[in-house]
Amino acid sequence: MKHEAVSHLITDKNGIYIDATLGYGGHTRQILADTTEDSQVYAIDKDIEAIEFNQKELIKREEVYP
């Protein structure tokens, strides 16, 4: 389901994308998977637990910064 939802949003594999509901990062990870290293993906959330979880999980990718 994530791939289907995200595939409709990706209009440019080198584009800039914002995930304003980061949650546990599922859609953000799918956006990262479906775009190139030249894209920019910004993910935000008001839930500090979600942010802390993703800082541990997404930071494993060298191109992801907290």
Give domain limits for the chain. Answer: 2-58
Q: pTM for the full model?
A: 0.81
Task: Give the per-residue pLDDT at 6.
Answer: 86
Please, where are the H alpha helices in 1-66? 2-7, 26-34, 48-58
Task: Give the per-residue pLDDT at 60.
Answer: 67
**Per residue in 9-59, pLDDT tens?**
999 999 999 999 999 899 999 999 999 989 999 999 999 999 888 887 777
Task: Give the per-residue pLDDT at 12.
Answer: 96
The amino acid at residue 60 is K
**With contact defined as beta carbons under 8 Å apart, do 53 and 24 qualify?**
yes
**With contact defined as beta carbons under 8 Å apart, do 13 and 35 qualify?**
yes
Between residues 2 and 47, which one has the greater pLDDT?
A: 47
